[in-house]
């Protein structure tokens, strides 16, 4: 009987117990992958969660799915983070409804990697606009509320490639390096207001973008299963030779956003199964 009880985990036992009750969180790029899983965990931990993303249809689908799982209200906002005025208006709406913002997770952006001779102004502008300027606009939007409220937490999502860039990884390696630098600079600047700023450098994780790449692959290799595809991607990852689960990254992001991480700021933490050549 004891063994059976240990195997049957209730929703309460599955929680991280980081106590985000009465916290208000904004998660950009929150309609899929790590952002979506972070929204789920933060909501279950008691936070009032708002998701920002561009595609309204995806947002509505995510809202429906998460509310069924968490039994909590999830607010959605169709926002392009490269639109400074649009970001300002959306953040103001969140504050108007919840009176404050305590947590910001800058997760918007997907991987874009090309040989240097293939780089165009459009490729660079799109990547830098979303991953760097978007993060800056979001930070500018939430900091006044965090100052007024006596503190807060900002987590920027970057990659280990921003520390050690491989060949043919522009513009992502460039924008992620900038994101890591932005993290350290803002952490130092905002520490006097008890606003912590950290970055989680994510490696290979199951996500919508990899799912789309799989769908392209099976157009020419229709016998390939999704599990085989992920096994192929993860074969060079030292820890388990596997691709990470979104929950693993989301749990770290949630921890850094909680009071349990109250003495952590200005850090760049790899979560990549040991794949990065640098710490």
CA distance 30 to 76: 9
- The pLDDT of residue 17 is 82
69-89 average pLDDT score: 98
Q: Which of 43-47, 153-157, 211-215 has the lowest mean pLDDT?
A: 211-215
Whether 2 is covered by a domain: the verdict is no
Answer yes or no: do 223 and 119 share one domain: no
- The pLDDT of residue 260 is 97
Answer yes or no: do 195 and 87 share one domain: yes
Give per-residue pLDDT as tens, 257-268: 999 999 999 999
Beta bridge partners of 77: 52
* Edge-to-edge strand list for the sheet holding 48-53: 74-78, 48-53, 24-28, 103-106, 152-158, 195-202, 268-271
Whether 24 is covered by a domain: the verdict is yes
Is the separation of the CB atoms in 158 and 200 below 8 Å? yes
- The pLDDT of residue 14 is 60
pLDDT at 4 over 60: no
Answer yes or no: do 30 and 108 share one domain: yes
- The pLDDT of residue 1 is 45
- The pLDDT of residue 77 is 98
Whether 230 is covered by a domain: the verdict is yes
Answer yes or no: do 219 and 113 share one domain: no
Answer yes or no: do 93 and 143 share one domain: yes
CATH of the domain at 125: 3.40.50.720
Q: What is the largest CA-CA distance in the chain?
A: 64
Give per-residue pLDDT as tens, 141-195: 999 999 999 999 999 999 999 999 999 999 999 999 999 999 999 999 999 999 9
Whether 39 is covered by a domain: the verdict is yes
- The pLDDT of residue 5 is 41
Whether 14 is covered by a domain: the verdict is no
Q: Which residues, 6 or more positions from 260, have their beta carbon under 8 angstroms from its beta carbon?
A: 18
Whole-model pTM: value is 0.93
Is the separation of the CB atoms in 48 and 25 below 8 Å? yes
> Which residues constitute the domain of residue 36?
19-205+246-271
Of the candidates 106, 104, 78, the residue with the CA atom closest to the CA atom of residue 90: 78
Answer yes or no: do 155 and 215 share one domain: no
Answer yes or no: do 223 and 104 share one domain: no
Whether 12 is covered by a domain: the verdict is no
pLDDT at 73 over 60: yes
pLDDT at 86 over 90: yes
Whether 276 is covered by a domain: the verdict is no
For the packed helices 246-257 and 33-44, what is the interaxial angle rounded to 10 degrees? 50
Is the separation of the CB atoms in 161 and 203 below 8 Å? no
Average pLDDT, the chain: 94
Count: domains in the chain: 2
Q: Place 9 in a pLDDT band, splitting at 50, 70 and 90.
A: very low
């Amino acid at each position: 009987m004891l063994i059976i009880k240990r195997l049957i985990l209730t929703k309460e036992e599955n929680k991280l117990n980081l106590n985000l009750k009465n916290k208000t969180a904004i998660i950009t790029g929150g309609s899929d992958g790590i952002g979506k899983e972070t929204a789920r965990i933060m909501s279950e931990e008691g936070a009032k969660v708002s998701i920002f993303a561009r595609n309204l249809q995806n947002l509505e689908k995510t809202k429906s799915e998460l509310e069924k799982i968490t039994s909590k209200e999830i607010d959605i906002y169709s926002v392009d983070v490269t639109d400074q005025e649009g970001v300002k208006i959306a953040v103001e709406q969140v504050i108007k409804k919840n009176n404050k913002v305590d947590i910001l997770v800058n997760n918007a952006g997907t991987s874009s990697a090309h040989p240097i001779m293939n780089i165009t102004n459009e490729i660079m502008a799109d990547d830098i606009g979303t991953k760097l300027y978007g993060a800056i606009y979001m930070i500018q939007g939430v900091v006044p509320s965090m100052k007024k409220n006596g503190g807060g937490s900002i987590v920027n999502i970057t990659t280990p490639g921003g520390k050690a860039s491989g060949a043919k990884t522009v513009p992502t390696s460039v924008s992620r390096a900038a994101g890591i630098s932005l993290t350290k600079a803002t952490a130092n600047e905002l520490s006097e207001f008890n606003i912590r700023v950290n970055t989680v450098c994510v490696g290979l994780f199951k996500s919508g973008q990899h799912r789309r790449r799989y769908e392209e692959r099976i157009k020419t290799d229709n016998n390939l299963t999704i599990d085989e595809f992920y096994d192929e991607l993860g074969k060079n990852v030292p820890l388990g030779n596997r691709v990470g689960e979104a929950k693993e990254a989301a749990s770290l992001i949630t921890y850094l956003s909680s009071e349990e991480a109250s003495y952590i700021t200005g850090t760049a933490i790899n979560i990549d199964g040991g794949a990065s050549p640098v710490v």
